[in-house]
């Protein structure tokens, strides 16, 4: 019996099979909507070819523009040809230089690039709406992330607000939070292009502006769950003051793994009569989630979280509600943590123009596409692609 490979291709990549000439066709079609910021004079590389080149490098694990350039130097002539990289000499193709890529990424329209990548990933995402008795409704988390290494001179670091599906973790939209504003101002522009009918949108109380929540429910036909934190003292006090002792636990669940055991209990309460004046339009239920965590060799920790939702008792179950809240917290580990640990986003010092945002978008594309293929270990999968460049296509 032959020895097992020490570096097997992850199962997600096994689904791809041999490279097909049309593998990049759908992404190519979306990228054609991105305007070319370069002067017409002196263009050697087609814009779509350069963007596909960057996408392939990042899905292979490239963390910086330098590493994207190095990936191109290792890429075969066949791969470069498929990406649309033109010949410099008969039979030879030269990958774009670091300077070429830096200038391009800095000048790209970040809003359009995010929109086309989000549209491509949404097209590949086959999550369908459901409800109690079948599968939970699809859920999208709205959450922000600072690009810590992007600060330069008098400018602070860049900050991005994203709309990310709970499972699998796919970024459908992203907006930059402009200087002297906050995430609340970007909330509506972020979600405006998305079809949210029947979707549950999860967010923290930072975005609980009356008009925006009303718009989400009435115009976008979505439901919401908002987690109430200490930065909303009035709403937090109202929720804590409800007679939770009189309400039985509606759902409990326990998880174990990584030398840790966690249990969660969920209580729900109709709030129409109790909190009719709360600043959450069309709120129907209040949630109280109590978590206990025991890590090996450490003292047990306890935490109680409160939330409100527009979903009513006949539209959901306590188990689903607890899952939505947990799914919102999970975005930190399933998306932001991956961008920092696998792609070293926080360590990146790219700061010129729109380059920090463009790099973040390429990371979203890589993570989203691999998640949709079923990859549960992004680091392992990108290493496998690096060893087999044809898989990047």
pLDDT digits (tens, 9 = 90+) for 112-122: 999 999 999 99
Give the pLDDT mean for 141-167. 78
Predicted confidence (pLDDT) per residue in 214-267, tens digit: 899 999 999 999 988 777 777 788 888 888 999 999 999 988 876 788 899 999
Nearest to 225 by CA among 276, 266, 300, 283: 283
Range in 15-19, 126-130, 191-195 the model is least confident about: 126-130
Range in 18-22, 182-186, 356-360, 370-374 the model is least confident about: 18-22
Q: What is the mean pLDDT of the chain?
A: 84
Predicted confidence (pLDDT) per residue in 232-242, tens digit: 777 788 888 88
> Where is pLDDT greater, at 209 or 241?
241
Could you please state the CATH topology (level 3) that the domain comprising 111-341 is classified under.
Transposase Inhibitor Protein From Tn5; Chain A, domain 1 (3.90.350)
Whether 321 contacts 225, CB under 8 Å: yes
**Tell me, what's the pLDDT at 133?**
43
pLDDT at 50 over 70: yes
**Tell me, what's the pLDDT at 234?**
79
Nearest to 57 by CA among 45, 72, 47: 72
- 197: its two tokens: 């009918």
Q: What's the whole-model pTM score?
A: 0.86
pLDDT at 206 over 70: no
**Tell me, what's the pLDDT at 23?**
64
Residues of the chain with CATH 3.90.350: 111-341
Whether 285 contacts 226, CB under 8 Å: no
326 vs 319: CA distance, rounded Å: 11
Helix (H, G, I), strand (E, B) or coil at 256: strand
Backbone phi and psi for residue 227, each to the nearest 5 degrees, phi listed first: -85, 125
């Amino acid at each position: 019996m032959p020895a097992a490979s020490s570096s097997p291709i992850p199962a997600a990549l096994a689904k791809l099979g041999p490279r097909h000439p049309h593998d990049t066709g759908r992404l190519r079609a979306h990228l054609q909507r991105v305007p070319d910021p370069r002067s017409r004079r002196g263009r050697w590389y087609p814009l779509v070819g350069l963007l596909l080149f960057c996408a392939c490098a990042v899905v292979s694990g490239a963390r910086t523009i330098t590493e994207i350039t190095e990936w191109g130097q290792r890429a075969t002539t066949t791969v470069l040809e498929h990406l649309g990289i033109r010949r410099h000499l008969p039979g030879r193709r030269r990958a774009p230089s670091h300077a070429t890529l830096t200038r391009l990424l800095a000048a790209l329209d970040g809003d359009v690039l995010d929109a086309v990548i989000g549209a491509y990933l949404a097209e590949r995402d086959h999550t369908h709406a459901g409800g109690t008795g079948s599968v939970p409704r699809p859920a999208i988390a709205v959450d922000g992330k600072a690009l810590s290494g992007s600060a330069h001179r008098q400018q602070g670091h860049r900050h991005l607000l994203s709309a990310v599906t709970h499972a699998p973790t796919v970024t459908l939209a992203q907006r930059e939070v402009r200087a002297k504003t906050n995430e609340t101002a970007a909330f509506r522009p972020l979600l405006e292009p998305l079809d949210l009918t029947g979707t549950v949108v999860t967010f923290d109380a930072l975005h609980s502006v009356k008009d925006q929540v009303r718009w989400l429910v009435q115009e976008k036909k979505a439901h919401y769950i908002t987690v109430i934190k200490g930065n909303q003292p009035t709403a937090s006090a109202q929720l804590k003051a409800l007679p939770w002792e009189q309400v039985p636990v509606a759902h409990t669940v326990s998880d174990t793994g990584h030398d840790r055991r966690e249990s969660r209990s969920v209580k729900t309460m109709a709030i129409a009569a109790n909190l009719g004046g709360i600043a959450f339009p069309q709120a129907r239920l209040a949630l109280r989630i109590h978590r206990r965590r025991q890590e090996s060799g450490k003292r047990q920790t306890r935490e109680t979280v409160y939330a409100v939702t527009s979903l009513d008792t006949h539209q959901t179950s306590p188990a689903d509600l607890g899952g939505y809240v947990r799914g919102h917290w999970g975005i930190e580990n399933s998306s932001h943590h991956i961008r920092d640990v696998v792609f070293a986003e926080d360590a990146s010092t790219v700061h010129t123009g729109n380059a920090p945002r463009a790099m973040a978008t390429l990371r979203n594309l890589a993570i989203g596409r691999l998640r949709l293929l079923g990859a549960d270990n992004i680091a392992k999968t990108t290493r496998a692609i690096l060893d087999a460049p044809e898989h990047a296509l």
